[in-house]
Structure 1
């Protein structure tokens, strides 16, 4: 893999990842861009003991441009984009409308009950391909493998930033999910706190270890590998529908070896992840008459805490409960956080196993 770094016109970093060592890119950005906003705030919710990010400047971010105006496509003569080069394999760059910024400042201090601090951190966009019509599911294995290398690279680099406590790699796909750019891409957030979901997961893992002496996630994987909810597997990975799935279509991908982060996966595990993930995504897309909307969320250990408790895995889920129906988070889910699912996990696993590829 060849790695090339440069700066965009407003100072943001951009990193190209190429399969070929002789790949070359245009590194200068000819655009005249305004400064990136650094006004994000973090406000602490004392009721839930959670930090909430306030980023009002994001109201003006790009929203559903036509394909010929996509800002994630390579630049062409007379039409510069967020990617100055006229070609690329995989590219990452700092978000132009970030929720979190390493340069964030605020004059607001809040109160003893609701403290406020700058929205420090970093938000990056990761483009999986220069092909606007592609999706992760249609990537060639070697292209998908390059994305895995980019995830690992960015996880390492962002974890080293001062104040960063957790790195989250994810993909939102589909208008139903709220995607505002249709180009195949994901995002990476470097948070200045451990997120609520990770905190709760690790608290459960800690209680399980105190009670049994074992790792919670390893025990879940062992039970699922022996059951009926397995969708697909390789020598080093298993994909399964969890027993208490919250979403209509939900699959978790676990490596068989406990590791804390993407960076800890060896070459064989990275290769096999690509094979399994592409298989599962194709099963998702074959369920209905159109590509399925989904969220793909990597769960990595926090940067500085509980790395022995954590267990790297990917959670993949969709709001689509039928070809023409979506799962909405209504009163019970939104008001109480108590999910009610319409499809049995065992039935979903059977459908995904039997789908024609």
Structure 2
């Protein structure tokens, strides 16, 4: 294990590797009760699968990763077989020791472990992307190696829960982990964008009930972000500042702090959609100040608990933290959360059918102002 490193808010980082060479990083709470030593991963593991291949959809310019190794992922295991729980004599899970927060490389990733050039234990890719200009070129039958990284972020050693069920201290530790991993992944060769997110609920497609999220490090700028960059190019580099000013003056604001505001956007697509944005321009988590990270922890928890207070059962959602690309648009694209849920009533979900799924032409059944009023009332009734 590498020498421990002290991060912001007193979080301690301890980096090591798993039995097959994948990176594992522990992030200890500032008030942790854990001992400094960590167990060695003594499992005998099969070799990691080959890095997947991307194929170009010439009609849209989108790159599609073909990752057959992901077909056999674990599906809703019980607590006694939870692959994200600390290892026990009967459960040879992915994490050797008890932990507060742990981040490790996904065993069956969509991107990586190969990089454009070999670094450390990473293999060197055959036919990697040759930069953004290469990826922009249209042509039939084009392929590239899906270089990059996919990491799992475990918020807690407990079997069930979500980010919203954590303490303020634990939430702050996760935020520090997001910032540290964003910095580390952004420095890897071939990485163009880093995306932390949490999928919550079986209705979203979650296959593990363990409280966790993921981080994808892409070899391209994602299609969604490319649309944002186009909008910035048309309207001006201060677009996010103007959006925030517009939304904060509206009736769609959910909650506000000194450094962050949450609101239902003017043109919300989903029955439940909330954006959370910092008041100053920052491209990613790594660029946040200590004060901004400190405020985010309780404010984000209030938002998530308010979402769950809408109904008697937990609400499925995708919590997507949009960050600026690594090499382009960093002065224009602002870090922000887009939290979306298909839940349109206690027992109803919105399904993407013909117009939305096939033509990307959306219809919203719930006015954003109505959604904001319900969420604002729910958030006011929760504590952290």
TM range (shorter): over 0.9
CA contact (8 A) 2:307 2:315 kept: yes
| Partners of 2:231 and 2:141 in 1: CA distance | 27
State the TM-score, normalizing by the size of structure 2: 0.88
> What do residues 192-249 of structure 1 show as CA deviations (whole Å, max 9, x unaligned)?
000000010111012111xxxx511110100110110001111111000001001110
| Partners of 1:78 and 1:66 in 2: CA distance | 13
2:181 corresponds in structure 1 to 154
Equivalent in 105, 116, 133 of residue 94 of structure 1: 105
Count of residue correspondences = 351
Q: CA deviation at 1:185?
A: 0.3
Equivalent in 298, 301, 312 of residue 289 of structure 1: 312
SS of equivalent to 2:334: coil
2:234 corresponds in structure 1 to 207
SS of equivalent to 1:352: helix
1:1-357 mapped onto 2 (5 Å cutoff): 1-20=11-30, 23-85=35-97, 87-103=98-114, 105=125, 112-209=139-236, 215-355=238-378, 356-357=381-382
> What do residues 85-133 of structure 1 show as CA deviations (whole Å, max 9, x unaligned)?
0x10100000011111132756899x95231011110100000111223
> What do residues 293-349 of structure 1 show as CA deviations (whole Å, max 9, x unaligned)?
000011111001111111111111111110000010100110100111110000000
SS of equivalent to 2:158: coil
Q: CA deviation at 1:70?
A: 0.5
Q: CA deviation at 1:27?
A: 3.9
> What do residues 258-297 of structure 1 show as CA deviations (whole Å, max 9, x unaligned)?
1111111111111111121111101100001101000001
Q: CA deviation at 1:149?
A: 0.3
Tell me which moved more, 21-30 or 43-52.
21-30
Structure 2: state its 5+ residue gaps: 1-10, 116-124, 130-137
Pick closer, same or farther for the CA change 1:236–1:112 going to 2, 3 Å: closer
Q: CA deviation at 1:39?
A: 3.7
CA contact (8 A) 1:239 1:276 kept: no
CA contact (8 A) 1:40 1:106 kept: no
Tell me which stretches of 4 or more aligned residues in structure 1 moved more than 3 Å.
20-23, 104-109
Structure 1: state its 5+ residue gaps: none
